[in-house]
Amino acid sequence: MFELLIQYIREGRIKLDKSKFDNVLATYHDPCNYARKAEKLFGHGYFDEPRWILDQCMENWVDLYPAKREQFCCGGGGGTMTTGYNAERILYGKKKMDQIKAAGAKMLVVPCHSCHGQINNIKKEYEMEDLEVKYLWELVADCLKV
């Protein structure tokens, strides 16, 4: 997925408008499965690839703290969106939301369906309704010059 997007951009098959989100401070969340767990399982964690893609889509974005290997889980992984243990899941997400608040971000970019669903689902619990949650490929699609 990351490789494919990078290939399209590198080969010039898609052109991106970097100014589209000039006024929105974005940040990036590393999903456990693409990052920490991929590194452990397959010997390669996707830390730098998504960040490179973000650099192609916007001039300005900030990393969360901590990030990459030390990233906090969103709380929506492992099927927890579907177990029905919702109070626990929302509480779990507090660390994540505090981290996003601390970064001052107005947009969170994620390349994972579970993270996307979780953050969108819990933002109202933490008075962060204005936070825009975007798939990484959605960001790329939004920036397409067609």
- Interface with other proteins (CB under 8 A): 1, 4-5, 8, 13-15, 32, 36-37, 40, 69-70, 72-73, 75-80, 82-85, 88-89, 91-92, 95-96, 111, 113, 117, 135, 137-138, 140-142, 144, 146
**Residue 122 Cβ, how far from other proteins at the closest point, in Å?**
13
Comparison of 14 and 25: residue with beta carbon closer to other proteins: 14
Phi then psi dihedrals of residue 56, to 5 deg:
-80, -20
Six token digits for residue 109 = 């970019």
Comparison of 27 and 80: residue with beta carbon closer to other proteins: 80
Residue type, 96: K
Six token digits for residue 80 = 């927890």
In the block, tokens 């998504």 appear at: 50
Comparison of 126 and 135: residue with beta carbon closer to other proteins: 135
In the block, tokens 């589209």 appear at: 20
Comparison of 43 and 79: residue with beta carbon closer to other proteins: 79
**Residue 100 Cβ, how far from other proteins at the closest point, in Å?**
14
105 contacts 128 by C-beta, under 8 angstroms: no
**Residue 145 Cβ, how far from other proteins at the closest point, in Å?**
8
**Residue 6 Cβ, how far from other proteins at the closest point, in Å?**
12
Cβ-proximal residues to 133 (8 Å cutoff; 6+ apart), any chain:
107, 108, 110, 116, 119, 120, 123
